[in-house]
Amino acid sequence: MHAVHQEWFDGTAAKDLDGVMSHIAEDVISYEHSEPLQYLGLESIREECRRGLEAASGAIDWDVPDLKILVREDIAVAWGLNRMQTQQPDGETAESWSRGTRVFQRGEGEWMMIHQHVSFPFDPKTGQAKTDLRP
C-alpha cells in the first residue's frame, strides 16, 4: 500500500494523469472536496484529477505524512491527513490539508482503490471549510 501511494505522489508531482489514475478501479466511488461530491466510476475521477492537475500553475506536491494502513486478506484501508502544496503564479507555495480514507481490494495480484473519501472539516461557527489541519 505504501508503494501504491508513492506512485500517486510521484504521478501528482510529475502531473502525470495516467500515473495518478493507476490503482483506481473502474467502478470506484469517490467522495471528493468539490461538487457533485460523489464521483462514480474511473472516468469521472479521471476528469476531477485532470482539473486538479491543470489548476496548479506550477509545481504540485501531495503526500500523507502519517499514513496508516490496515490490510486483511484482499481488503486494505489507508487513512491520514492529506497535505497538498502548490506553487502559485507569484512563486509562493500554498499548502492545504484535508482528511482522506481509501479502501482497496486486491484482485489478480494488484491493489485497486474501490472507495475514497476526502473532506475538509468545517468551522461550525462560520460554516466555512478549514483547510489548515496541521497535526
Q: What pLDDT score was predicted for residue 134?
A: 56
On the CB side of 43, how many CA atoms lie within 13 Å of its CA? Answer: 0
Q: What pLDDT score was predicted for residue 92?
A: 87
Alpha helices, H only, 16-127: 17-21, 42-55
Element holding 102 (H helix, E strand): strand 93-107
CA distance 53 to 57: 9
CA distance 90 to 20: 26
Q: Does the model's pTM come out above 0.75?
A: yes
Residue 132 has pLDDT above 70, yes or no: no
How confident is residue 131, by pLDDT bands cut at 50, 70 and 90?
A: low
Residues 44-103 pLDDT 10s: 999 999 998 998 888 999 999 999 999 999 999 999 999 999 988 888 888 888 999 999
Q: What pLDDT score was predicted for residue 120?
A: 84
How confident is residue 18, by pLDDT bands cut at 50, 70 and 90?
A: very high
